[in-house]
C-alpha cells in the first residue's frame, strides 16, 4: 500500500493526472483505505517535511480525482 501511495505522490508531483487516476482506479486496495493511510502518514510526519507536503497535496484533490476515476473520466472522450 505504501508503494502505491509513493507512486501516487510522484505522479501527482509531476502533474501526471491521467496516470494518477489510472493508478488509483486499478490499485489492489480500496480507495478509501489508501486515502486514510495517506492521511495518517501526513499527520505523523513533521511540519516542513517534503513527503508530508506531497501527501497533503495529493489529499487535497483526492475526492474529486477518485470520483472522476470511478466514472471513467477519460473513457470515450477521444472524439471530443
Cell of 20: 494518477
Cα separation of 63 and 50, whole Å? 22
**Average pLDDT estimate for 12-28:** 92
Q: How confident is the model at residue 66 (pLDDT cuts 50, 70, 90)?
A: low
Global pTM reads: 0.75
Q: Which helix (H) or strand (E) holds 7?
A: helix 2-13
Q: What is the pLDDT of residue 64?
A: 72
Domain range annotation of the chain: 2-71
Cα separation of 44 and 47, whole Å? 9
Amino acid at each position: 500500500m505504501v508503494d502505491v501511495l509513493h507512486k501516487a505522490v510522484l505522479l501527482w508531483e509531476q502533474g501526471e493526472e491521467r496516470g494518477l487516476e489510472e493508478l488509483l482506479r486499478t490499485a489492489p486496495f480500496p480507495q478509501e483505505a489508501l486515502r486514510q493511510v495517506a492521511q495518517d502518514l501526513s499527520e505523523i510526519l513533521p511540519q516542513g517535511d517534503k513527503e508530508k507536503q506531497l501527501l497533503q497535496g495529493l489529499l487535497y484533490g483526492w475526492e474529486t480525482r477518485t470520483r472522476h476515476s470511478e466514472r471513467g473520466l477519460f473513457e470515450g472522450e477521444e472524439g471530443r
